[in-house]
Structure 1
Amino acid sequence: MANAGDEFRLASSNISQDGRLPRQYSAEGQGAKMNISPPLEWYNLPQGTKSLALTVQDIDAPEPSGPLVPFTIWVVINIPPTVKGLPEGFSGKEEEMGGDYAGIKEGHNDLKKVGWQAPKIPGPGHRIEFKMYALDDVLGLGHKVTADKVLEAIEGHVLGEAVLIANF
């Protein structure tokens, strides 16, 4: 039995103790300090992990007609297990960073853009769910990667999940 300290987990040095997501990671930021992806790090990958996939969703986003439908902010796939985190502002820079980061692929969010894109949130009280999946395979999803395609493709390949919730 693994200790609680050994569990697969996801963290961010920039999400405050009370779980607040700072403004620079949203559409509410100022100038260049706006809509940048937050730093993330993960620990204790399950044995046999061949790649990691990440989905980030506003899980309190209402549809205009009423029900809550998760709004996808960011999708990232094929993160190699050798990578231990993504630095702040990583979105859109995987090629520049090179090395193990070069094979990482960002998908389309619900604003139909590639990369991190937080929506303008109408009011406080939204929870942003960062969910990291440890997979026993590398995903081959073609050109247009979406959260739905990822969730379908990982079925039966998930070795572990780590969740981080931030509040906006």
Structure 2
Amino acid sequence: MAQEGLRLVCPPVSAHEGRLPRQYTLEGQGAKKDISPPLEWYGVPDGTRSLAVVVQDIDADERVPWTHWVVANISPEEKGLPEGFSGAGGNANAGSGAGGVQEGVNDWKQPGWRGPVPDSHGHRIQFRLYALDDVLSLGNKVTVDKVMEAIEGHVLGEAEITPGTVA
């Protein structure tokens, strides 16, 4: 259940009637292609020691859910992740990144963000934010399975948004 105070926002989704703009997909738009969208969060619970973000296509055909991005050990002092934090030209560093942030391997077996493919129109891409009472010990290869196992019993709050794929 989502905690009352914790809120997750993706400003471009809000500006495009609840849909993920094309620049965040593999196909892209203009000069922007396959970059992670900006995320903002509010109301992080007291006692939070780290945050994690998991982004999945909950309507994928091959494997449900299909993981597009996993980020762990985000400092609770951070107020979000900027556009292009990961993906084409972004950080995309699996394992330990700057400030302890760890990006995981997506279901394409690549580190960092990988946007939805053009033929996934109509699929819902779920963005989940977890506020945790601990810093996760994940080792060098971070996966969504490792993150989900590690957060068990440590979730202080959750928030989610689930836009359609392409605006």
Q: What is the root-mean-square deviation of aligned Cα atoms in Å?
A: 2.0
Amino acid at match of 1:72: T
Q: CA contact under 8 A between 1:14 and 1:22: conserved in structure 2?
A: yes
Q: Which residue of 2 aligns with 1:132?
A: 129
Pairs aligned (count): 156
Amino acid at match of 1:124: H
2:80 matched to 1:82? Answer: no
Amino acid at match of 1:60: D
**In 2, Cα distance between equivalents of 1:147 and 1:70:** 11
Structure 1 position 119, deviation (Å): 3.7
Amino acid at match of 1:102: G
Which has the greater radius of gyration? Answer: 1
Q: Which residue of 2 aligns with 1:24?
A: 23
2:156 matched to 1:159? Answer: yes
**In 1, Cα distance between equivalents of 2:10 and 2:112:** 18
Amino acid at match of 2:68: I
Inter-CA distance 17–26: structure 2 relative to 1 (3 Å threshold): closer
**In 2, Cα distance between equivalents of 1:90 and 1:125:** 25
Q: Which residue of 1 aligns with 2:12?
A: 14
**In 1, Cα distance between equivalents of 2:92 and 2:146:** 21
Matches within 5 A, 1:56-67: 56-63=55-62
Structure 1 position 140, deviation (Å): 1.1
TM-score normalised to structure 1 length = 0.86
Inter-CA distance 121–59: structure 2 relative to 1 (3 Å threshold): farther
Q: CA contact under 8 A between 1:77 and 1:105: conserved in structure 2?
A: yes
Query: How many percent identity over aligned positions?
Result: 60
SS of the counterpart of 2:145? helix
Structure 1 position 51, deviation (Å): 0.2
Q: CA contact under 8 A between 2:92 and 2:112: conserved in structure 1?
A: no
Inter-CA distance 101–164: structure 2 relative to 1 (3 Å threshold): farther
TM-score normalised to structure 2 length = 0.86
